[in-house]
């Protein structure tokens, strides 16, 4: 048979080999009458045939450290949960800061009140003998010394009273008054105590002896008095803003 392709003997193209094989198979089926079953092709099973989900659905829901679940529904729920937790934490932080501020302010006020007690008490013990004493021979000097311990409207009231009432009477009857804060019989701290105190105001109770001499009295007259002094903190320290005899 002639070589139709012009190729050398024994050289057959892949296309011709396939056609020749198909021809032989057809001739064989014709000769024997038996049709060979077509061999099934082996293919990799798809995900659906194996009961598996596609790759984009293989991963299950993701659990976060705070319990939130990632996913179509888990992600939304987790976001809401994280938002609620953040809000609660913010409220707790604010509440903690407010508590610290309140307790800090209360602590500071307490410390300032304690300081006020000590300083106001010392100022009252020092002021009482000066404010409640005078000598007709040096009234102006004594009244000026007393006014240095006073403040506010009480200072003005003291000036008016000493000028209009005390000075004329003291000069007329040669009055001399000496006041002292009572001390215990064995000595010690003068009898005075703080009734109440705040950082800028204090009330002090004092036991005061006043010894009075004048031309109207035979000998010395001793008066045992209880005096309540109100003191106010000023730029110049603690000053007496009121005096009441009890």
Supply the CATH number for residue 130's domain.
3.10.450.230
Start-end of H helices in 48-192: 55-58, 74-131, 139-147, 152-161, 167-173
Note whether 70 and 59 are within 8 A (CB): no
Alpha-carbon dihedral angle through residues 57, 58, 61, 62, given to the nearest 10 degrees: -120
Banded pLDDT at 127 (limits 50, 70, 90): very high
Residue 135 placed within a domain: yes
Q: Which domain holds residue 239?
A: 104-245
If one counts the domains in the chain, the total is 1
Q: What is the pLDDT of residues 151-204, one digit of tens each?
A: 999 999 999 999 999 999 999 999 999 999 998 887 777 889 999 999 999 999
Q: State the pTM of this model.
A: 0.57
User: Residue 162 and residue 141: Cα distance in Å, rounded?
Assistant: 12
Residue 185 placed within a domain: yes
Residue 210 has pLDDT above 70, yes or no: yes
Note whether 94 and 104 are within 8 A (CB): no
Task: Tell me how far CA of residue 69 lies from CA of 15, 81, 240, in angstroms.
Answer: 60, 10, 72
């Amino acid at each position: 048979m002639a070589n139709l392709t012009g190729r050398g003997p024994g050289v057959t193209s892949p296309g011709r080999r396939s056609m020749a094989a198909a021809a032989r198979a057809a001739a064989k089926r014709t000769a024997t009458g038996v049709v060979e079953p077509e061999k099934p092709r082996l293919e990799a099973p798809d995900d659906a045939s194996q009961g598996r989900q596609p790759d984009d659905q293989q991963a299950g829901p993701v659990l976060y450290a705070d319990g939130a679940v990632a996913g179509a529904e888990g992600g939304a729920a987790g976001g809401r949960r994280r938002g609620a937790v953040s809000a609660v934490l913010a409220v707790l932080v604010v509440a903690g800061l407010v508590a610290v501020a309140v307790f800090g302010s209360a602590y500071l006020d307490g410390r300032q009140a304690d300081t006020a007690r000590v300083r106001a008490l010392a100022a009252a013990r020092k002021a009482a003998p000066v404010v409640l004493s005078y000598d007709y021979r040096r009234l102006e000097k004594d009244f000026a010394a007393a006014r240095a311990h006073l403040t506010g409207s009480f200072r003005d009231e003291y000036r008016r009273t000493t000028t209009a009432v005390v000075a004329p009477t003291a000069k007329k009857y040669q009055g001399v008054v000496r006041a002292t804060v009572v001390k215990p019989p064995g000595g010690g701290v003068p009898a005075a105590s703080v009734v109440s105190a705040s950082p800028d105001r204090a009330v002090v109770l004092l036991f005061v002896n006043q010894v009075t001499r004048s031309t109207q009295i035979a000998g010395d007259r001793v008066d045992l008095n209880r005096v309540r002094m109100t003191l106010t903190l000023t730029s110049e320290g603690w000053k007496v803003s009121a005096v009441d005899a009890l």
